[in-house]
A = this chain, B = another copy of it.
Amino acid sequence: MIKDISNLQAKLEELLITQQNLKTQGHVADYIPALAEVSPTLMGISVATVDGKVFGAGDDKIPFSIQSISKIFGLVMAMNRIGDDLWQRVNMEPSGQPFNSIIQLEWEKGIPRNPVINAGALLIADVLASHFSASKLAFLSFMRSLSGDNNIYIDNHVYQSELSHGSRNAALAYLMKSFGNIEAEIPDVLSHYFTQCSISMNCQQLATSLLFLANKGIDPRTKNSICTPRDTHRVNAILSTSGMYDQSGEFAFSVGLPAKSGVGGGVVAVVPNYGVICAWSPPLNKYGNSIIGTNLVLGIAEELGLSIYH
């Protein structure tokens, strides 16, 4: 890796201008009305490094709905809470299916393929709802603590919108329950899940919050251990094989970093021993990944030679 950070700020701005000049493709997520309202032309990028620097360009301080990026944090909380018992209830294989597919869940008898597709994240939500007396609050506190910002909030407008368009996730949860793989009441599981998806954060906060994954589990700001080195390795492995839905293979092929996207348009990528990149732009491709967000991460990864596969 080159990982030269001189001129990083200039590079970020340059990449952003290139993307701004491209005609916006794709569509802002419209399966819930609250997300469809976001302006498609917003875009931002931030890089936080393990040695404490934060760079950013564009709309990197405008909060957006983190959506599925929340799955990383939920996974870490569940691993910390119930340890390896978790892996009796969810696998760690790529799915080879669209992100919210119910077919595979039936095929594999209620065991989700991995924790970062919807079924797996609902399973994680069940673990949290079952093992924390106030799982939503615990989740929000975790996010505030990791980002060092107590103003991080749940967007209630998004939450209500999720709740009233949540039939597919309800179907996934009930199907897992029919196989005996859900412990809590379904409404509680869904409520937790939609809550964590509805958190608003900006690029800078997300990049900062995930630095522990680039630092063997230690938050470099606070020196707190967020998870074990082994679990850090495992989370990065899961993000590498499955974090970008059914485009994960292509992302590995072209970018080569552990990453996770959300339908709010955010993309985060972990660079072990270096830092975290977070890019944001609402329009999505057919896989549910931010088009420009992916381009921005690709640009910075190529520029700095960040791929883990070299």
Residues of A within 8 A of B (CB): 91-97, 101-104, 106-107, 113-114, 167-168, 170-175, 177-178, 186, 216, 229, 232-234, 236-238, 240-242, 246-250, 252-253, 256, 258, 272-273, 307-310
Contacts and interface: CB of A to CB of B under 8 A. Distances in A.
A142 B167 CA distance: 32
Nearest to A172: B171
Number of copies of this chain that the complex holds: 4
A106 B96 contact: no
A171 B167 contact: no
A253 B92 contact: yes
The 10 closest A-B pairs by CB, nearest first: A96-B96, A94-B94, A93-B249, A171-B174, A167-B178, A168-B178, A236-B309, A171-B175, A237-B252, A167-B177
Task: Count chain B CB atoms within 10 A of each CB in A93, A106, A233, A246 and give the residue with the most.
Answer: A93
B241 A175 contact: no
A92 B249 contact: yes
Contacts of A96: 93-97, 104, 113
Contacts of A216: 310
Contacts of A258: 309
Contact of A232 (B175, B237, B310): B310
A77 B169 CA distance: 31
Nearest to A229: B310
Contacts of A308: 272, 308-309
Given A177-B167, A216-B310, A272-B309, A92 B241 contact: no
Given A103-B106, A308-B309, A310-B229, A114 B249 contact: yes
12 contacts: A93-B96, A93-B250, A102-B171, A113-B249, A167-B178, A171-B178, A232-B309, A233-B256, A233-B307, A236-B309, A240-B252, A241-B241
Given A93-B248, A175-B168, A250-B92, A310 B241 contact: no
A246 B94 CA distance: 8
A6 B170 CA distance: 55
A302 to B, nearest CB: 9
A103 B173 CA distance: 15
B272 A310 contact: yes
Nearest to A103: B103
A175 B103 CA distance: 11
A94 B241 contact: yes
Given A249-B92, A272-B310, A174 B168 contact: yes
Task: Count chain B CB atoms within 10 A of each CB in A92, A172, A186, A246 and give the residue with the most.
Answer: A92
Contacts of A95: 94, 96
Nearest to A287: B93
Contacts of A233: 256, 307, 309-310
